Amino acid sequence: MRLIIPEGYKPLITLKETEKILQMLKDHFESGLAADLRLRRVTAPLFVLKGTGLNDELSGVEQPIVFPIKDMRGQEAEVVQSLAKWKRMMLRDYDIQIGHGIYTDMNALRPDEELDNMHSVYVDQWDWEKAIYPEERTLETLKKAVRKVWDNVKRTEFFIHTFYSNIVPSLAEELTFIHSEQLYEMYPDLTPRERESKFAEKHGAVFIIGIGYDLPDGKPHDRRAPDYDDWSTETEDGYRGLNGDIIVWNEILECPAEITSMGIRVDKTELLTQLEITGHMDQVELLFHRRLLNDELPSSVGGGIGQSRTAMQLLKKAHIGEIQSAIWPGEMVSHCRKSGIQLI
């Protein structure tokens, strides 16, 4: 069982207060995100048809939940794991103009997730996508979007403080940007997780650029599916990748916490490059991939921001189960109850 029990932990607000502030937190964050990035809300699917290429394969090993639909002659559907590719199709299908985008309140299931303080089978995200010009597929465009997301996180942290003064803002004022290759050069003998931990503890909040391309040791910082984020393009500063993660230092658990993953999306050239690198060239016949290769989809930047993970960080909770209702191993529930961690 992977569980951290912080010594002397006591929630700063009650379960009743938590439930009350959660909706206010989410409403505040959504409105800020929409205004800063020029997004409008759309309704998200809970499942998509299998074989369309629309579901997110994440790192490529997670298996989605599959079920047959009786009234469609047993055609199978998959519960979504995220909506990275679906959103990009909606930019075109909803005729969203360049410089504008969409966001959605996404609910997903990831049954292969390893459950701990920050990971749950149930995933709730603000999934967003913004149309950009092809010439805007740059590192600077990515950093500009990342800073807007971070500013909104910071504003929401202060918003919470205005209601509960004992929840004191503690996030870093500025994000530190670093490439995964630079992290490797700094700490070649550490694992990617250990590199994140050491750097996040020092700086408080970081954006690690370039998640997916192999580092000098032949392994990526972390794996990414080949068909949404562009992780293979060489950037103007000589490194690889137009995607990344915001990692913050969690003072309660004393470990790093990823709150969002985002990136410039692949064009058709990088799609083919990354499919070839990962050995998935057979996917070119799937619906999403065909539309991209036929120039039917706009260039875009987008990402997913974990709702429960962000709320957990801002409300200084020790377990994501204090934020969302989910299922946990009996031993974990018992340990949390004895330690004053009240799971919803």
Q: Please check the confidence at residue 60 and state whether its pLDDT lies above 90.
A: no
Q: Please check the confidence at residue 61 and state whether its pLDDT lies above 80.
A: no
Give me the CATH code for the 15-338 domain, please.
3.30.930.10
| Closest by CA position to 88, among listed 49, 121, 132 | 132
CB contact at 8 A, 274 and 65: no
Global pTM reads 0.94
The bridge status of strand 47-49 relative to strand 122-131 is unpaired
Mean pLDDT of 117-140: 96
Q: What is the pLDDT of residue 85?
A: 92
Structure tokens given for 198: 């050491």
Mean pLDDT of 213-241: 94
Q: Please check the confidence at residue 56 and state whether its pLDDT lies above 90.
A: no
| Separation in Å, CA 62 to CA 86, 92, 164, 246, 273 | 18, 28, 39, 22, 22
Residues forming the active site: 56, 110, 125, 245, 258, 261
Q: Please check the confidence at residue 272 and state whether its pLDDT lies above 90.
A: yes
Q: What is the pLDDT of residue 1?
A: 66
| Lowest-pLDDT choice from 50-59, 76-85, 260-269 | 50-59
Q: What is the spatial distance between Cα 125 and Cα 104, in angstroms, rounded to a whole number?
A: 8
Q: What confidence category does residue 59 fall into, taking pLDDT thresholds of 50, 70 and 90?
A: low
Q: What is the pLDDT of residue 237?
A: 87
Q: What confidence category does residue 55 fall into, taking pLDDT thresholds of 50, 70 and 90?
A: confident
* One-letter amino acid of 63: Q
Q: What is the pLDDT of residue 195?
A: 96
CB contact at 8 A, 342 and 11: yes
The bridge status of strand 66-69 relative to strand 75-79 is antiparallel
